[in-house]
Amino acid sequence: MTNAAPPASALVLGAMMFGTTIDDDTSFALLDQFVARGGAWIDTADCYSFWASDTGLGGDSERVIGRWLAARPGMRERVKIATKLGAEPLWAGSWPNRRAGLSRRAVADALAGSLERMGIESVDLLWLHQEDRSIPIEETVDALAEITGAGRAARVGASNHPAWRIERARAHAASIGSTPIDALQLNSTYLRVRPGTRPPGVEHAFGVLSDEQRDYADVHGLEVWAYTPLLSGAYDNPEKEIPEVYDHPGNRRRLAELDAVAAELGATRGQTVLAWHVARGVRPILGGSKLEQLDAAMDAVRIGLTADQVARLDRPA
């Protein structure tokens, strides 16, 4: 039995490099094509992309989105915007030791800056970018309650947080009658890293989607978003090697099954990985810089895997 083809809105357009390595013209073209093909969610952050910017600080990505919205009257009503806060360096070169964090004041100030850069009054989803153990999670939730209560964010989510802190945050939100965290954003791909390792670029101890985080999300009805699902193109680009942390016997079996299912679908490995995420209820984020990459991803999320194909791909190594 084949699952019904998911909508194009299952894919998120990641805007991380807009305004730095991706210029305005290319960013606008990607955004236009994304919407034209039925996409809805755009994901950014106040710190994107400080490591590639001239100033050593973030904000470039949000400014590009702001310029695009200003040049496209009526577009704000057609898209959903998610941004993150908490990971912006306090000054150039200070990350990761000195970052904005998640205090009550830092959360309020960061969102105000994001809204100003994008020229909008509210976001559809506000993410806590990474955990901040120097601040009680209850203080952060109080700040989020003020934001959602004022209508400046419709929903709140958390990226790179352990499940236990999400549970504490949601319990405190329930106790004060505020909007609870209802989404998790974590690194997820089809291959699995060796125990005790992390994928390249994942700096956070709880940044990779675990079985516990997924179980928590399933039981409590939280959305799961996946960043870097395509290993930056390594599934299909022969010039890019799959990172060494994925080199183990279990993944050799998974790659063989991935190739088999991809052949049945007439799709690439990467497209099959995206379709697998969507079939399992995970919303993948695409961070490509080329229109053909976007089109391939938009095609991929419309693929309906059969229950047998999903089961084969999910089979333990």
What confidence score (pLDDT) does residue 181 get? 98
What confidence score (pLDDT) does residue 8 get? 78
Mean pLDDT along residues 240-255: 95
- What would the pLDDT profile of 117-141 be if each residue is shown by its tens digit? 999 999 999 999 999 999 999 999 9
Three-class secondary structure of residue 226 per DSSP: strand
Give dist(CA 131, CA 101) in Å, integer.
8
> 126 with 156: CB under 8 angstroms?
yes
Q: How far apart, in Å, are the Cα atoms of 15 and each of 53, 62, 205?
A: 14, 8, 24
CATH superfamily of this structure's domain 8-314: NADP-dependent oxidoreductase domain (3.20.20.100)
Mean pLDDT along residues 226-236: 96
Mean pLDDT along residues 277-301: 96
Mean pLDDT along residues 288-314: 95
Residues of the chain with pLDDT > 70, as a percent, come to: 98
Mean pLDDT along residues 40-44: 98
pLDDT bin (cut points 50, 70, 90) of residue 275 is very high
Name the CA dihedral angle for 27, 30, 35, 37, rounded to a multiple of 10 degrees: 180
Phi and psi torsions of 191, nearest 5°: -75, 160
pTM of the model: 0.96
Q: How far apart, in Å, are the Cα atoms of 57 and each of 53, 70, 170, 252, 288?
A: 7, 23, 31, 40, 22
pLDDT bin (cut points 50, 70, 90) of residue 5 is low
- What would the pLDDT profile of 88-99 be if each residue is shown by its tens digit? 999 999 999 999
What confidence score (pLDDT) does residue 288 get? 86
- What would the pLDDT profile of 46-55 be if each residue is shown by its tens digit? 999 999 999 9
What confidence score (pLDDT) does residue 119 get? 98
pLDDT bin (cut points 50, 70, 90) of residue 6 is confident
> 261 with 313: CB under 8 angstroms?
yes
* Rounded (5°) CA angle 234-236-238: 75
Give dist(CA 73, CA 59) in Å, integer.
22
Strands (E), the chain: 12-14, 41-43, 80-85, 125-128, 156-159, 181-187, 223-227, 282-286
What confidence score (pLDDT) does residue 9 get? 87
> 208 with 187: CB under 8 angstroms?
yes
Give dist(CA 34, CA 8) in Å, integer.
9
Q: Is the pLDDT score of 1 beyond 60?
A: no
> 89 with 99: CB under 8 angstroms?
yes
pLDDT bin (cut points 50, 70, 90) of residue 316 is confident
Q: Is the pLDDT score of 4 beyond 90?
A: no
What confidence score (pLDDT) does residue 317 get? 62
Query: Average pLDDT of the chain?
Result: 96
What confidence score (pLDDT) does residue 98 get? 95
Structure tokens at 32: 């236009």
Question: Catalytic residues, which ones?
Answer: 48
Give dist(CA 295, CA 3) in Å, integer.
21
What confidence score (pLDDT) does residue 102 get? 98
